[in-house]
């Protein structure tokens, strides 16, 4: 491996950024360079090569009119970014990488030889479209050039220093496009469903596990009961990363406005607690987003979770959906709550036998809080 390439790879692996990489039609050596250097697991969360048209179409969820186009590669980068968000440690900077090439093949190509690379971070979507001089190089040489471009793009996205000669001739063309996003634009993308989550890692503690323990809610406002509940639940399942989670999309109401989202997030900054923003209001969708997580809920939420009326009055549908959460290794820690004026705990609920092992009771002597966000708003005339 060239010394300059090795220096870039070392710097990438030393950065905190974690990446998902989708490659089609070239740049294969870049993947080998990244994976052959110690520390690759610090960077590469997943690498996928959707080489066939069928594979790439399934990744995109559609059959594109042109498989090697800037639009397709940018979509690949955004898909990879969303995948990286799901696979990364909470708050870790993530990177999505897309690449598609039409390089030298066994027989002559009717079109030109070119490749496109795109990277997506929280604040930037970048793409480079490179046209190579047809017939100048072998397939291996074209793959080397595209690999160097891809590695440099990853290095730039990881904000590491490094230089690598592109080896393009004067008649070859490289066209770059960059879109920058501020926080408001990123939040709008979350509301629109373009990205799946945004993490605010206000908790600076380190944890030995990547598994999460999540308390979901609207937190309007966040209060001591919420903080205590997650604290107690975390003590029951040690070493999990404690997170609050807010869905910016509501099942029964309009989505939160950007101003409302930022107002609620600032509460967690003041409390020094990590909060995840998602666009999934239903727990079975949260389970897909956070597999292997323990969700902290109140007895009132647990009662709704097992009530067939929320599943089109279908008991079978309720069991099937919650079994889907079980298959994703998700569990529910249930704290006591007032229901119709009476304080209820997990043992007061008729949990179906086949789902019992998903639910864990938080004892009343360890946590009880009758305060609610609704009562706080009423007392303040909100």
Distance CA 129, CA 98 (A): 12
Same domain, 161 and 231: no
Q: Write the CB contacts of 207 (distance below 8 Å, at least 6 apart in sequence).
A: 239, 240, 241
Q: Cα 181–279–297 angle (5° rounding)? A: 135
Residue 290 belongs to domain with CATH number: 3.40.50.620
Q: What is the mean pLDDT of residues 262-278?
A: 97
Q: What gap in Å lies between CA 47 and CA 96, rounded to an integer?
A: 10
Q: Which of these three, 125, 148, 181, is where a domain ends?
A: 181
Tokens found for residue 180: 């920058």
Q: Could you read off the pLDDT of 271-317 as tens digits, one per residue? A: 999 999 999 999 999 999 999 999 999 999 999 999 999 999 999 99
> Is residue 187 domain-resident?
no
Q: Which of 83, 82, 81, 59 is nearest to 72 (CA)?
A: 59
Q: Which of 153, 181, 209 is the last residue of a domain?
A: 181
Helix or strand or coil: residue 161? coil
Work out the mean pLDDT of the chain and round it to a whole number. 93
**165 with 249, same domain?**
no
In angstroms, rounded to a whole number, what is the distance separating the alpha carbons of residues 275 and 280?
Answer: 14
pLDDT in the model for residue 162: 65
Are 169 and 209 found together in one domain? no
Give the whole-angstrom CA distance, residue 306 versus residue 283: 12
Best CA proximity match to 283, nearest among 302, 260, 261: 302
Q: Which tens digit of pLDDT belongs to each residue from 156-196?
A: 999 997 666 668 888 788 899 999 999 999 999 999 999 99
What pLDDT does residue 231 have? Answer: 96
Q: How confident is the model at residue 362 (pLDDT cuts 50, 70, 90)?
A: very high
pLDDT at 325: 97
Q: Are residues 364 and 273 in the same domain?
A: yes
What span, in angstroms and rounded, lies between the C-alpha atoms of 137 and 110? 16
Question: What is the Cα–Cα distance from 52 to 122, expressed in whole angstroms?
Answer: 29
Do 339 and 202 belong to one domain? yes
Contact by Cβ (8 Å): 163, 4: yes
Task: Write out the residue range of the structural domain in which residue 318 sits.
Answer: 193-379
262 plus 213 within the same structural domain: yes
Give whole-number Cα distances, 175 to 12, 117, 120, 258, in Å.
Answer: 24, 11, 17, 34
Of 137, 153, 181, the one marking the end of a domain is 181
Instruction: Report the pLDDT averaged over residues 17-44.
Output: 96
Residues 267 and 138 in one domain: no
Are 46 and 87 in contact by the 8 Å Cβ rule? The answer is yes
> Does 188 reside within a domain?
no
pLDDT(95) > 90: yes
Is residue 186 domain-resident?
Answer: no
Dump pLDDT digits (tens) for 219-247.
999 999 999 999 999 999 988 999 999 99
Beta strands in the chain (DSSP E): 18-24, 44-48, 94-102, 113-120, 124-132, 173-180, 197-200, 212-216, 241-247, 275-278, 294-298, 331-335, 337-339, 342-344, 359-361
Sheet of 241-247: strand order equals 197-200, 275-278, 241-247, 212-216, 294-298, 331-335, 359-361
Which two structure tokens, joined as six digits, stand for 32?
Answer: 């080998």
């Amino acid at each position: 491996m060239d010394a300059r390439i090795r220096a870039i790879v070392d710097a990438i692996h030393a950065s905190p950024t974690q990446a998902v990489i989708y490659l089609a039609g070239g740049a294969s050596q870049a993947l080998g360079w990244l994976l052959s250097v110690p520390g690759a697991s610090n960077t590469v969360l997943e690498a996928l090569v959707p080489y066939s048209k069928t594979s790439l179409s399934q990744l995109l969820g559609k059959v594109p009119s042109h498989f090697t186009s800037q639009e397709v590669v940018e979509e690949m980068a955004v898909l990879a970014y969303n995948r990286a968000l799901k696979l990364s440690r909470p708050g870790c900077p993530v990177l999505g990488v897309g690449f598609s090439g039409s390089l030298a093949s066994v027989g002559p190509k009717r079109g030109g030889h070119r490749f496109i690379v795109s990277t997506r971070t929280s604040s930037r979507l970048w793409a480079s479209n490179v046209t190579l001089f047809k017939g100048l190089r072998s397939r291996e040489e074209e793959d080397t050039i595209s690999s160097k471009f891809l590695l440099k793009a990853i290095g730039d996205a990881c904000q590491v220093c490094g230089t690598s000669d592109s080896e393009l001739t004067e008649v070859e063309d490289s066209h770059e496009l960059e879109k920058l996003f501020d926080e408001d634009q990123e939040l709008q993308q979350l509301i629109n469903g373009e990205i799946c989550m945004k993490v605010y890692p206000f908790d600076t503690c380190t944890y030995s596990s990547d598994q999460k323990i999540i308390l979901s809610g609207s937190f309007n406002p966040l209060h001591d009961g919420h903080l205590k509940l997650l604290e107690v639940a975390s003590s029951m399942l040690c070493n999990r990363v404690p997170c609050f989670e807010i869905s910016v999309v509501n099942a029964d109401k309009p989505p939160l406005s950007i101003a409302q989202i930022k107002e609620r997030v600032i509460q967690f900054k003041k409390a020094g607690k990590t909060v995840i923003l998602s666009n999934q209001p239903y727990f079975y969708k949260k389970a897909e987003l956070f597999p292997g997580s323990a969700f902290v809920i109140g007895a009132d939420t647990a009662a709704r979770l097992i009530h067939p009326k929320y599943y089109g009055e279908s008991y079978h549908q309720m069991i099937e959906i919650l079994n889907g959460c079980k298959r994703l290794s998700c569990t529910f820690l249930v704290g006591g709550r007032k229901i119709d004026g009476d304080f209820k705990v997990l043992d007061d609920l008729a949990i179906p036998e086949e789902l019992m092992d998903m639910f864990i009771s938080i004892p009343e002597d360890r946590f009880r809080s009758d305060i609610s966000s609704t009562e706080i708003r009423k007392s303040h005339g909100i």
